[in-house]
Structure 1
Amino acid sequence: MIKLSGVIITFNEERNIEKCLQSLVNVVDEIVVVDSFSTDNTKRICLKYNVKFIEQKFLGYIEQKNFALGHASNNVIVSLDGDEALSEELQESIITLKSNWQFDGYYCNRFNNFCGQWIKHSDWYPNKKLRVFDKRFAEWKGINPHDEIVLKDHRKAGKLKGDILHWTYQSYSEFNAKTEYFSTIAAQAYFEKGKKAPFYKLIWNPFWAFFKAYFLRLGFLDGNNGYIISKETGKITYLKYKKLRKLYSNN
């Protein structure tokens, strides 16, 4: 029977971290928390549980998560963010894997809660994520802040029943602030990779991002919150390229 390590990175997650830990304690054999020196009660809450708590200055989302993998004792990982938790059905699916591991990684659907509403459409569901994997055959990649686990050498992945429950933003102002924050990180990451920002991307890419989320992915079925999510999807795309163009003009 294989052993599992739950791995979490945190910063000021007192609002959600207990739900995350409670969903893992009966599933994994150890829990590793890498915290970026939280200033709230995150550390105190984590230390109520039998976790390996490591404090590390934030390295970037991808870099921090790869750092955290290096501190897991077991090869098979269940990776969550501090504002996520395993549904009961997903907990049962992962426990079953301990005696029936067939692939090198497993995808799960992520179910996002926005301002108290579970979002069932737009780009937010099923929001497939590979979060259960053998770390010998996988690593975190992507362009910050959009990290993803990538399996190496064409390794195969399966699919698990159940959802990762994700509590996103509790207010529109919080969502707007994060849009500004993440667009800045994305623009800097694009700049460092030499990606260009021709003018047409300021017009076409935001329009397409909104249209896809609201119409093609049926965001309108989630009511006003579906519209807000789709609008912010277009806005973050616009800001990313606007800030990227500014980086080039300043250099």
Structure 2
Amino acid sequence: MNLSAVIITFNEEKNIGRCIDSLLPVVDEIIILDSYSKDKTLEIITGKGLTYHQREWTDYSDAKNFANAKATGDYILSIDADEELSPALQQSIRQLKARNPANAYMVNRITNYCGQWIRHCGWYPEYKLRIFKREGTHWKGAVHEDLVFASEPEIEKLQGDLYHYSYPTVDSHVKKVMQYARLTAENRYKKGKRYNLLWHGIFKPWVIFFKKYILQLGILDGYYGFVISVLTSFFHFLRYINYRTFQQEDRACKKNIV
């Protein structure tokens, strides 16, 4: 197996070095696609002896497909800049490369939230399909991208965690909630998804909080388990608000045309 790691970046100076360091011992090449970072991301990349590609941002799937096309390995390890291979996962990948591989592999991701590893709230275990054959695959979806296979793949799970450093502060989580709420609302509105006030605006946020904090044992993650449960609930409420905004803007536009 010849393994190419693929990363897309934008202003990842706090994360990219850690990510690269975890990849160097186990992959055959690292492909980096940058969307014109304005911080020290590129300086860190070149400082580690690597090169990069650049182009303007479009969406997640398009960026990943473009970067995958630059890879030369028969298998791809898709990893985000704020992720890191744990020592146990590195060892699993070494063992994988020494035998006849399956078509694809899932890894178990664990998230570090403000310095604390989150093991509940429905966040762990969180299996992600990250290693796969380059030929016959492509990413699809503007926001939450999915990997599409030309034929039904044989998928196995690897031992070891993928460390995820997505939320260094609560404020970073709030900003991401607001960003993704708008993106997913716009995506679903364009696809004709219908939302209503009673369920999506009022009841569903409360149901989500109860699910995260009680049923998925977010309470065992302490203060941050509570924060995560609240912000996940808020995401669903905010998504509804954004959906209504797109709906009203669309109606106003059509009225003006008439």
TM-score > 0.5 by shorter chain = yes
Q: 2-side partners of 1:35 and 1:108: how far apart? A: 24
CA–CA distance in structure 2, aligned partners of residues 201 and 62 of structure 1: 27
Could you tell me how far apart the structure 2 residues matched to 1:138 and 1:220 are?
39
- Equivalent pairs counted in the alignment come to 249
Letter matched to residue 213 of structure 1: K
Equivalent of 2:174, from 173, 176, 180? 176
Counterpart for residue 93 of structure 2: 94
Q: In the alignment, which residue of structure 2 is the partner of 1:126?
A: 125
* Aligned counterparts of 1:245 and 1:101: Cα–Cα separation in 2: 51
Deviations 1:138-197 (A, max 9, x none): 32234x432233444221200000011010122222211121111111112112222222
Structure 1 residue ranges (4+ consecutive) displaced by more than 3 angstroms after TM superposition: none
Alpha-carbon contact 1:104-1:137 (below 8 Å) kept:
no
2-structure distance, mates of 1:139, 1:99: 26
**In structure 1, what is the equivalent of residue 9 of structure 2?**
10
With 145-154 and 24-33 compared, the bigger mean Cα shift is at 145-154
Bigger drift between 63-72 and 226-235 goes to: 63-72
| Residue 33 to residue 202, structure 1, CA distance change in 2 (3 Å) | same
1:17 to partner: Cα distance: 0.7
- For residues 230 and 152 of structure 2, what CA distance do their matches in structure 1 show? 36
Q: Gapped runs of 5+ residues in structure 1?
A: none
Give the TM-score, by structure 1 length.
0.94
Q: Secondary structure at the match of 1:222?
A: helix
Q: One-letter code of the match for 1:15?
A: K
Where do 5+ consecutive residues of structure 2 fail to align? 251-258
Q: Which residue of 2 aligns with 1:58?
A: 57
Match in the other structure for 1:232: 231
Q: Secondary structure at the match of 1:239?
A: helix
**Within 5 A, what are the aligned runs for 1:22-101?**
22-101=21-100
Tell which deviates more after alignment, 125-134 or 57-66.
57-66
Match of 2:159 in 1: 161
Cα distance in 2 between the residues matched to 1:8 and 1:20: 9
What is the CA RMSD across the aligned residues, in angstroms? 1.4
Q: Which moved more, 1:150-159 or 1:232-241?
A: 150-159
Kindly tell me: are residues 241 and 53 of structure 1, through their superposed partners in 2, closer, same or farther at Cα, counting changes over 3 Å? Answer: same
TM-superposed CA distance for 1:214, in Å, is 1.2
1:93 is displaced (CA, Å) by 0.6
